[in-house]
Structure 1
């Protein structure tokens, strides 16, 4: 049996590098040699037991790589193809799937959460979850398709109109990708709120028309107050930080009749306060945006064409040996996206 290395989440709070058998593709599987796999906030939630999963498992759901082998029933792919994988496998049979809401599948199985993922030398990818990438694409760029697909779903739900005003709460990779998508959607005013100066500067490079430091004063007043950037509030707020403060701020930053999209993943069990009267009286539309239903292919196309700036979002690249420490610790100051690149060891 061929041996590979894989980062194993063996239990809550325990993640270690192990040797494991290199998987063999089933009839409908691609065996993908991982070129890059992004470390996501969800991976840290898994480590701390704040997001449901089934350890022992190899995490890593933001991956791309090269097809090295394939099952006999696979068609449309060749050895050597560069692919990205949509990690969220819907059953296709439950009421949600039959209604086209595959992200709400009652039997959802996610690569890197319920089955082995991309923090390894190789991953098995069902052919229906694979999307081709150009052979000349930078190997690191394909790992951004999954987070971009999640952002695309949120922007779809927001129904941004040309000329709209938008606030993005959170300056991590989800917030910075959402800034770029809001600009592509035609938003005229795009304001990003984050405490970290380096992320505020990067947001302005990527299309934000203004940024706000929540540590320097009242964000509500700075944005929606009488002398704020958009008096009365903005058309759309994207909550991309997944913390109580920004969830609560989101509804107060929105104009009457406006829209709030909750994109950030909060720890399971976290509570936030809001006034139902405010939602009623101002007729706010508050939507959750979960996963990437039917958006992964569009994300791959956007990245393939260079429409989304990727390189500025990559903070550093680490080996599999270094990945456990990255996942077990909070992000470093100013860090946006860390990529695990197995071949670097």
Structure 2
């Protein structure tokens, strides 16, 4: 079968490899669609820890083609989404219910072979059923949506709240939709790209700003801004130094900042600890998707989340290496790899 392999830091290539066989508690899934994530680019450049050589791809959906002898809850022919994050269940974090912080966490597409391939094998515990009539391209959004759900859970948004979302990529645009569902009254999205700002307003943002044209802090939280004094919640979804630094200045006193975006490992930003102390800001990190994948799959299946407008293009496995090796095109939101499309 074909598989897109991260062979070493800086080197990816499409290879012919053996088709995997499921173990007793595994399922073999024929990949229908797998999303390209910013993390895939970080992995290529060594900015996120991984274990090459490995097949990339952690946002996938497909059809179960074979099951192990001990598999009971998944059957051949089922459409499933895969939660890529496999916790050990034994360490102190797992026993405390913090499975995303597992000391032995292993992720499909990062530490073991993933979904940029014709097939992937995963434990049955990581497979979540989807409706048979759901578009496969929609199923590939369950994993990023699950990560956004965790961030919104941590934010504890109350009906009527004011919220800023920094970043107009797929994570920011999914988060805008979740924030709207949570009942926020004011939802401001900040992103440089006009097409993404327009899309955010279609999806529920009450206002958008271009940070290349105005100072976001003044435009949003300044005396003449959209929300003078700052907002209840800031969700940082861009993973760049400017937005990390802006996030704390956009929150009102007593407000909450949730960092969802992924910055390259080792990169630093400047902030003022006294400001966090004096204004009693709550600054939280949001890492992956503890116990949210089932909810994400149900939300996708319900149609409550707009997905089609987030799909910029679909590419073949043969084109995937070039997509990952280059920055996202202007205005691009999500590229899906469709092995047999």
Q: TM-score range by the shorter chain?
A: over 0.9
> Is residue 104 from structure 1 mapped to residue 86 from structure 2 by the alignment?
no
User: 1:119 Cα deviation (Å)?
Assistant: 0.3
CA distance in 2, matches of 1:258, 1:17: 47
Task: Pick one of 174, 189, 213 that aligns with 1:177.
Answer: 174
Secondary structure of residue in 2 paired with 1:214: coil
Task: Pick one of 198, 215, 220 that aligns with 2:217.
Answer: 220
Task: Pick one of 46, 60, 63 that aligns with 2:43.
Answer: 46
Secondary structure of residue in 1 paired with 2:48: coil
Instruction: Give 2:89's aligned residue.
Output: 92
Task: Pick one of 116, 119, 128 that aligns with 2:116.
Answer: 119
> Is residue 63 from structure 1 mapped to residue 60 from structure 2 by the alignment?
yes
User: 1:338 Cα deviation (Å)?
Assistant: 0.2
CA distance in 2, matches of 1:255, 1:65: 44
Instruction: Give 2:259's aligned residue.
Output: 262
Q: Tell me, which stretches of 5 or more residues in structure 1 are unaligned?
A: none
User: 1:78 Cα deviation (Å)?
Assistant: 1.4
Q: TM-score, normalised by structure 2?
A: 1.00
Secondary structure of residue in 1 paired with 2:55: coil
Task: Pick one of 161, 180, 202 that aligns with 1:164.
Answer: 161
Secondary structure of residue in 1 paired with 2:300: helix
Secondary structure of residue in 2 paired with 1:131: strand
Instruction: Give 1:318's aligned residue.
Output: 315
Task: Pick one of 324, 327, 330 that aligns with 1:327.
Answer: 324
CA distance in 1, matches of 2:335, 2:9: 21
Q: TM-score, normalised by structure 1?
A: 0.99
CA distance in 1, matches of 2:148, 2:249: 22
Secondary structure of residue in 2 paired with 1:195: coil
Instruction: Give 2:274's aligned residue.
Output: 277
User: 1:76 Cα deviation (Å)?
Assistant: 1.5
CA distance in 2, matches of 1:309, 1:275: 38
> Is residue 302 from structure 1 mapped to residue 299 from structure 2 by the alignment?
yes
CA distance in 1, matches of 2:300, 2:315: 22
Instruction: Give 1:138's aligned residue.
Output: 135
Secondary structure of residue in 2 paired with 1:226: coil
Q: Tell me, which stretches of 5 or more residues in structure 2 are unaligned?
A: none
- After superposition, the C-alpha distances for 1:210-264 in whole angstroms (9 at most, x for unaligned) are 0010000111000000000000000000000000000000000000000000000
- After superposition, the C-alpha distances for 1:249-292 in whole angstroms (9 at most, x for unaligned) are 00000000000000000000110110011001100000000000
CA distance in 1, matches of 2:269, 2:257: 14
CA distance in 2, matches of 1:65, 1:125: 12
> Is residue 204 from structure 1 mapped to residue 233 from structure 2 by the alignment?
no
Instruction: Give 1:74's aligned residue.
Output: 71
User: 1:73 Cα deviation (Å)?
Assistant: 0.3
CA distance in 2, matches of 1:13, 1:242: 21
CA distance in 2, matches of 1:18, 1:189: 48
- After superposition, the C-alpha distances for 1:114-173 in whole angstroms (9 at most, x for unaligned) are 000000000001100110000000110000000000000000000000000000000000
CA distance in 1, matches of 2:79, 2:266: 39
Secondary structure of residue in 2 paired with 1:327: helix
Task: Pick one of 188, 191, 196 that aligns with 1:194.
Answer: 191
Secondary structure of residue in 2 paired with 1:92: coil
Instruction: Give 1:29's aligned residue.
Output: 26
- After superposition, the C-alpha distances for 1:282-313 in whole angstroms (9 at most, x for unaligned) are 00000000000000000000000001000000
